[in-house]
Amino acid sequence: MGRWIKPEVYPLMAAMSFVTGMCLFQLTRNVILNPDVRINKAHRTTAVLENEEEGWKYREHNLRKFLRTRPPEVMPSVNRFFSEDK
């Protein structure tokens, strides 16, 4: 395999593998957990689903609850460095 793939390509392959994995994770999560996706034939016959509680539970997942307690900064140490008066 080393003969066909150059070492310079490894970072690109790693980034593409990561992005592909994230896409597969999101698609799988939506198919399995999303209340608007209806795979079962019995659920597909209903035009409007009355599942507000299920939709709220899907929207308010644990990562969102955790991030709500964090400050909305991407790099807090860099922000503090440039915003402090010296």
pTM (two decimals):
0.54
SS3 15: helix
Average pLDDT for residues 67-84, to the nearest whole number? 86
Would you place residue 46 in the very low, low, confident or very high pLDDT band (cuts 50, 70, 90)?
confident
SS3 46: coil
Would you place residue 1 in the very low, low, confident or very high pLDDT band (cuts 50, 70, 90)?
low
Average pLDDT for residues 4-20, to the nearest whole number? 91
SS3 64: helix
Nearest to 60 by CA among 35, 86, 84: 35
